[in-house]
Amino acid sequence: MFKRLPYLVFLSVTLLVAACGDGDAPPPTDATNAPASKNKSTLVEKAANFIQKADSIATLAGGPNEDPEKECRILAYCEKRCVGECINEERSRAAYFKAKKQKIAGSPFEIKILRSYVDGSCARGDDPNKRKSSSGIRAVVEGTMTYTGQDMLYAAKLEGEMYLRFGADRFAEAHVKEVSYGGYYGRSKPVSRFEREIRGADPWVKGETREFHWESRSLSEAFCEVMPDEAKAYVELATWGLNKGRTDHPIVFETLHWEEVIGMALRQQINVLKKQKTETIEEPADAIYSQLGKVLVTRLTGKTEWLKRSSTAQAGNITKGPSAAFPVKASSEEWKVEVAGISHAKEFGGYAHKGEDQFLAIVDISVAFSGEGEGSLKGFAARMETSPGKWQKPITKALGQIDTSESIASGSSVSGKLVFSRQRFERPFRLEVKSPDKNTFYLDVFDYKMGPERAPK
């Protein structure tokens, strides 16, 4: 402790370097694992709490240096050294992850991923001043590991991190979450774990398969606003064997789709897990959309519903699907509905939300009648799903929308707009339309251009 005291003294007065006239020193680099402004230093902010402690220690150690010129030289050297170390550390993250990826092939484990996704929540509310903080965004990876090595393992621990890359060498990271605390007595329970624990009484031997659940800590909900160049879950396994002792094994680099934070199209087949007595069977289903731990599927029976990702299994990595291909059409025997497109705005037809984080989704729609005589639009209704299971009705106060009081001659159609409310973290998924002849249609209106509006460019 006493040998490192002078360094703490130097660090505690780093803020004075600017007064020493060292104008040639490069600006400090952000080392807080978050995207930083090119013209703003965040290095001092990172060390603020530590500096306060160092100040008190320095005072006890004998007070400040009495030679201002010597002090300035020392501080300038320390700042340059700290800046260089931060730059090297940040740039080395790309090399670090690259080296880990190259070692996966030599791992004595066979991995099968059952599901991987981002979970958590984004802060919601019309008024940012009244909005409560959310839990943030975390990564979840679940699957099985089969040990193929020769040693007998008597302990194992899941490690690693979720990381987002911005540009070539800027990273935001959230390390593995190992334990959670809760309950009246503050009891702990393992978060990242093997469902069947590796322990001395039940060692892990060659050919044996064990299920695992890996989860990262949460990144700030501010990351709901961004779209990183790369998002990955890096899973590492530390093992203790009778012959080799501790060994660290890079296991998985799993791609995370950050679009799932506010909604992503899937358009692929997954399996729904169903428990039947003592076994779990897999039932194929078509996955349509996903958002933060939930997925919309259409089962073999034709039923469409939102399910928890934990009740599904994927074959390989989830694949990002495209936006809706407009126009989108649906028809019954006498009625035809067509959506030409969807857009967003802050105001329409003299109506605007009071909340600064609320927006309007505007649907261009036409309704055609092909029956005999005249068809009445009475009974026509629509609503929009803006997040899993959350439906919005049209805003009646916005003028200029489709007039449902009209009658349509056979072979004719009426066109107009429907206006719905949504928040910036809501990307509309589908439009439910009930035709006058009491048929119900679900039309795809998903578009990646919808939100989040405040995302940095």
Residue 97 φ then ψ, to 5° = -70, -35
In CATH, what class is 328-444? mainly beta
Fold of 264-322: SH3 type barrels. (2.30.30)
Q: Which residue has the higher pLDDT, 84 or 134?
A: 134
pLDDT category at 61 given cuts 50, 70, 90 is very low
Overall pTM > 0.85: no
pLDDT value at 286 more than 60? yes
- For tokens 């339309």, the residue is 433
Distance of CA 393 to the CA centre of its chain: 28
pLDDT value at 134 more than 90? no
Q: What average pLDDT does the segment 264-289 reach?
A: 89
Q: What average pLDDT does the segment 154-163 reach?
A: 96
Q: Which residue has the higher pLDDT, 81 or 214?
A: 214
Return the structure tokens found at 35.
């995207």
Among 399, 437, 427, 43, which Cα is nearest to 258's?
427
Q: For 381-420, how does the pLDDT look when each residue is reduced to its tens digit (9 = 90+)? A: 999 999 999 999 999 898 888 888 888 888 889 999 999 9
Provide the residue ranges of all domains of the chain, joining segments of one domain with +.
5-102, 107-262, 264-322, 328-444
Query: What is the pLDDT at residue 63?
Result: 41
Q: For 354-381, how does the pLDDT look when each residue is reduced to its tens digit (9 = 90+)? A: 877 788 999 999 999 988 888 888 889 9
Task: Give how far Cα 104 sits from Cα of 97, 115, 239, Å.
Answer: 11, 19, 15
Query: What is the pLDDT at residue 51?
Result: 40
Q: Would you say 114 and 59 are in contact if contact means Cβ atoms under 8 Å apart?
A: no
- For tokens 């995370």, the residue is 256
| % of the chain surpassing 90 pLDDT | 51
Q: Which residue has the higher pLDDT, 456 or 238?
A: 238
Q: Would you say 161 and 171 are in contact if contact means Cβ atoms under 8 Å apart?
A: no
Query: According to the per-residue pLDDT averaged within each range, which of 98-102, 209-213, 268-272 is highest?
Result: 209-213
pLDDT category at 161 given cuts 50, 70, 90 is very high
Query: What is the pLDDT at residue 105?
Result: 92
Q: What average pLDDT does the segment 74-97 reach?
A: 64
Q: Which residue has the higher pLDDT, 46 or 146?
A: 146
Distance of CA 402 to the CA centre of its chain: 37
Distance CA 135, CA 219 (A): 9
Q: For 410-443, how does the pLDDT look when each residue is reduced to its tens digit (9 = 90+)? A: 888 999 999 999 888 889 999 999 998 889 999 9
Q: Would you say 362 and 348 are in contact if contact means Cβ atoms under 8 Å apart?
A: yes
pLDDT value at 196 more than 60? yes
Return the structure tokens found at 122.
């984004």
Burial class (CB in 10 A: 0-12, 13-18, 19+), 115: buried
- For tokens 């695992």, the residue is 212
Residues 6+ apart with CB under 8 A from 26: 83
Q: What average pLDDT does the segment 53-60 reach?
A: 38
- What 3-state DSSP class applies to 196? coil
Q: How many residues does the chain have?
A: 457
- For tokens 């040990």, the residue is 147
